[in-house]
Amino acid sequence: MTASISDILLQWYDAHARDLPWRLAPGSALPDDPDWPYRVWLSEVMLQQTTVAAVKPYFAKFVATWPSVVALAQADEDAVMAAWAGLGYYSRARNLVKCARAVAERGGFPATEAELRSLPGLGAYTAAAVAAIAFGQRAVVVDANVERVAARLFAIADPLPGARKAIRAAAEQITPQERAGDFAQAMMDLGAQICTSKAPRCLLCPLREACAGHATGAPESLPVKPAKKTVPERRGTAFWIVQSDAEGEPCVWLVTRPSAGMLGGMRALPDDGWSAARDGTGILPLAGSWRDLGAVRHGFTHAHLTLAVKGLATDAPPPGEGRWWPIARLDEAGLPTLFAKAAQLALAAT
């Protein structure tokens, strides 16, 4: 059964693999290219909790700007953070630079899963994916898609997260010795295109006859997910502080957020200290004739935020560290999505 599942799935993948810019064609030999592991690693980091459609333009931009891990290691961290803006989960970008520098220092990516795990920011999934896809090592790769396919294939009915040990054991059981990278990507594609979260397309599934979940008549009920927690509502205020420079060019005051915490290390509008755990203080950073410019809504993993935006034109220097950024070049600042929304609101209201 084990051999037939992997063989059937690989045959399906050979015919139906998604054409993605970071992939080889099914069955291809690994390229003799030192930058190949870099592209695999970069794509896998970007794809964490992010859709393929969202990642494609970012991947293209990164490999055009920093075509090798050495180039990325030498990059200015602010430039990398700005290029990442809008992709979310910004700790990934900080770890990207740390990992690139560690890899460059050692002269390249290690080829084994265990050594890859020692690099900054590489957890179990990413290390296994790079080992299998970039180096052809047999590694058990379990992302959300693979988790869903394995849970249904073996009808693993224990609720998550407790079921993950059994799901990994099931994935281990069917991972072949050869073409482990293609097999991992085949499982991902099957989960993304056929064995979807809702309304799985079982009639098109190459593994339907072997699927214990399909045999139950309710494969969509697997894996069993825990009850969703209530996401708290938070409120905060962002400050749109403007003045003109010596040439009369309008500028807005931007700060760099602390490296630890939400949107860490990103350029942003100053705010009143909101976080996922608490509301902001609402305290204005400067005296003056502030205007209410409206509010924006944004969803984070651990909170929903309503961010009021207040504006002030001033000749006084704002408190704390920051810089005046030309409003005409604000799209170059790399603001994360929340503050890009706030900036668009402010620009529309002024």
Average pLDDT (34-55) is 95
User: What is the spatial distance between Cα 14 and Cα 5, in angstroms, rounded to a whole number?
Assistant: 14
Once rounded to an integer, what is the mean pLDDT over residues 1-11? 82
Which residues participate in catalysis according to the annotation?
A: 44
Least confident of 92-96, 136-140, 291-295: 92-96
Structure tokens at 181: 């990278």
What is the reported pLDDT for 262?
Answer: 86
Indicate whether 23 pLDDT > 70. yes
Is the CB of residue 118 less than 8 Å from the CB of residue 134?
Answer: no
Q: What is the mean pLDDT of residues 314-333?
A: 93
User: What pLDDT, in 10s, does the model give residues 63-88?
Assistant: 999 999 999 999 999 899 999 988 88
Q: Collapsing DSSP states into helix, strand and coil, what is residue 325?
A: strand
CATH code: domain 2-140+165-198 is 1.10.340.30
pLDDT at 132: 97
Whether the predicted pLDDT of 57 surpasses 50: yes
13 or 92, which is more confident = 13
Mean pLDDT across the stretch 250-276? 92
Please give the average per-residue pLDDT across 206-227, as a whole number: 95
The confidence score (pLDDT) of residue 260 equals: 80
User: Is the pLDDT at 301 greater than 70, yes or no?
Assistant: yes
Report the distance separating Cα 300 and Cα 280, nearest Å.
16
DSSP 8-state class, residue 288: S
> pLDDT tier at 89 (50, 70, 90 boundaries)?
confident
pLDDT at 47: 95
Q: pLDDT at residue 194 above 90?
A: yes
pLDDT of residue 88: 86
For residues 310 and 293, is the Cβ–Cβ distance under 8 A?
A: yes
What is the rounded average pLDDT of the residues 26-43?
96
pLDDT of residue 249: 94
Domain ranges for the chain? 2-140+165-198, 233-349
Percent of the chain with pLDDT over 70: 99
Q: Which pLDDT score is estimated for 1?
A: 44
Average pLDDT value for residue range 233-239: 97
CATH number, domain 233-349: 3.90.79.10
pLDDT at 184: 97
Section 197-214 average pLDDT: 96
pLDDT of residue 259: 82
The pLDDT assigned to 3 comes to 53
Kindly state the percentage of the chain with pLDDT values over 90. Answer: 87
Segment 223-231 mean pLDDT: 90
Q: Which residues pair with 291 in a beta bridge?
A: 311
Instruction: Tell me phi and psi for residue 245, to 5 degrees.
Output: -80, -170
163-187 per-position pLDDT tens digit:
999 999 999 999 999 999 999 999 9
Task: Pull the structure tokens for residue 323.
Answer: 């810089």
Q: Does residue 108 come out as left (phi exceeding 0), alpha (psi in the -120 to 50 range) or beta?
A: left
| pLDDT for position 224 | 96
Radius of gyration of the chain measured on its C-alpha atoms: 24
Asked whether the predicted pLDDT for residue 229 surpasses 90, the reply is no
Of the listed ranges 85-94, 105-114, 115-124, 341-350, the least confidently predicted one is 85-94
Is the per-residue pLDDT at 285 higher than 90? yes
Q: Average per-residue pLDDT in the chain?
A: 94
